[in-house]
Amino acid sequence: MMKYIRIYTPAIALLVLLPSCNVNFLGYGIAGVVTLFALMFILFALMFYLIARRRKQGDKSLVKFANDVAVALGKLSTPQQKINMLNKLIERINNDEKYKKDTQWRDKVLAKTYSFLATAYYQNGDRMKALHTMSDIIGLDDTDSMAYYNRGSIYSDMGMYDKALADLNTTVGLLPDYASAYNNRGLVHEKMEHYGEALADFDAAIAIEPSAVIYFNRGNTHFQMEDYTASLGDYRMALEYIDGETQPDFKKEIEIGIKAVEAKL
């Protein structure tokens, strides 16, 4: 049966960016091209002004920076456009003399920008580049819990369970109250046939934040262990938590699980 894994994608990370210089502009006309490049120049000038002005305000300024980037670059829609422009922004940050004089602040801004880039790569279907970018984030900030979480979740999806487990262990250590970290680690344990550890993680996740996904995953583990009574109970609990109107495919998957268990009992 399907396993449901959660990938963290912050709302502000769903950026839309201006196209690279390689894009065909024939459809825009001369005025459109001039307008696009003028807008790009203004946006970058605004971002760097805001960064310099707020540099000493710490974490609060990073949140504002992320919001400014999201708003300023919210005009395009494709992941590749996001990737092109985020890479240009990263290059600009690395080459800026002000950042070279304050490397600690530069690394914080780069880590935030890389988080947008990792999301764009993932949306574009390039999991390896997403992984490498998350590693770049961790290289800049080894306490970034969500970088470990997302990298571990993708490792799991790719079948690299040892690496996934290491990252998700780190995530749980940094975020002991994050239910999704326990859920995703439980999936890794289940795939490695560590059923006792998997159940313990699902139990912890449910204690923090019960959801249809976690009950369903625990039900699958009980099914693998041939504990069909417990599996049936979890599937039924999943149905109680799910919104069948907005998640019809997931509801159907749960109902298939229930039929499979009933056939075993």
Check whether 107 has a pLDDT greater than 50.
Answer: yes
Q: What's the burial of 24, exposed, middle or buried (CB within 10 Å: 0-12/13-18/19+)?
A: exposed
Check whether 223 has a pLDDT greater than 50.
Answer: yes
Token readout for 206 is 């449910």
pLDDT of res. 34 = 56
Per-residue pLDDT band for 26 (boundaries 50, 70, 90) equals very low
pTM: 0.77
| Rama region for 195: left / alpha / beta (φ>0; ψ in -120 to 50; rest) | alpha
Write out the DSSP string of 171-208. HHHH-TT-HHHHHHHHHHHHHTT-HHHHHHHHHHHHHH
8 Å CB contact between 198 and 221: yes
Q: 3-state class of 16 per DSSP?
A: strand
8 Å CB contact between 174 and 145: yes
pLDDT of res. 66 = 82
pLDDT of res. 30 = 59
The alpha-carbon radius of gyration of the chain (Å, integer) is: 22
**Mean pLDDT, rounded, for 238-251:** 90
Per-residue pLDDT band for 215 (boundaries 50, 70, 90) equals very high
Give the integer Cα–Cα distance in Å for 74 and 16. 5
pLDDT of res. 20 = 33
Q: What is the mean pLDDT of the chain?
A: 83
pLDDT of res. 206 = 98
- Residue that wins the pLDDT comparison between 51 and 173: 173
